[in-house]
Amino acid sequence: MPSMIDLPEAVRRLPGDDPSVLADLVGDAHVVAIGENNHGVREFGALRAQLVRVLVRELGFGVVALESGFAEGARVDAWIRGSSDDLEDLARDGFTFRAGDPAEMQSLIAGLREHHEAGGRVRFAGLDIPGSGGSPDPALRLVREHLARHAPDAARHHPHPRGRARRLRRAVLPALPGAVGVRQGASLTRRIPGPERQQLYGRILVRETVGQGES
């Protein structure tokens, strides 16, 4: 049986809830990166929530950015600043790859909302592409909601994202040999490398919007 190996002296246990210890560690840095070697691990999520709480409430950090879709992140940011969305719905729709499912993540954003309600300043942002791998639907949904609030007439000419997604899939079917229907075409579309798929979708969106004047 192998013997135990001592960790290097530079590796030491730090209390995550002690502002003075974190302040010494952070120094004058304006950005603090919190990493993890696997997603969905409860202990990592709990530690992250604890660290973020101290960084925001005690050390004055004002933006929490997560590896999640930027469109979904805008929904979380609005909730933190007082929108009436249900937390359960937000956990489902406000994150990509189900990152909002764990109780630790919900606790983190609930703490940010409490901080904001108490007069603190904090914003939330997603740093990744929307749609759990590259769908324009979440971003288009935000556009539609914005138009519905501020330009209702224009909103009537902006189709619902689900309808547009179906049209996008139908539009790429001719380029996918062997596809016999929308469902199979969607599966084959996902095999196109992400950047190429986004360029294709972008060209179709421009052609639909500018060339056809959707209704």
Tell me the mean pLDDT per 10 residues along the chain, length 215.
71 75 90 88 92 94 95 95 91 92 95 96 94 80 83 66 54 48 48 58 48 42
Q: What pLDDT does 210 receive?
A: 42
Residue 153's pLDDT is 78
DSSP codes joined into one string, 142-200: HHHHHHHHH-HHHHTTS--HHHHHHHHHHHHGGGSTT--SHHHHHHHHTTS-HHHHHHH
Q: Tell how far CA 213 is from the center of its chain.
A: 31
Residue in this structure with the two tokens 């499912």, named with its chain if needed:
101
Tokens of 79: 């909730």
Domain ranges of the chain: 19-128, 137-212
For CA atoms 160, 165, 170, 174, the dihedral sign is positive
Alpha helices in 32-151 (DSSP H): 42-57, 70-80, 87-93, 103-117, 137-150
CA distance 102 to 40: 7
In the chain, helix, strand, coil percent, each to 5?
55, 5, 40
Q: pLDDT value at position 171?
A: 53
Measured CA to CA, the distance from residue 182 to residue 50 in angstroms comes to: 45
Amino acid letter for position 31: V
> For the whole model, what pTM was predicted?
0.67
pLDDT of residue 55: 95
Query: What single letter denotes the amino acid at residue 47?
Result: L
pLDDT value of position 165:
53
The two most distant CA atoms of the chain are separated, in Å, by 74
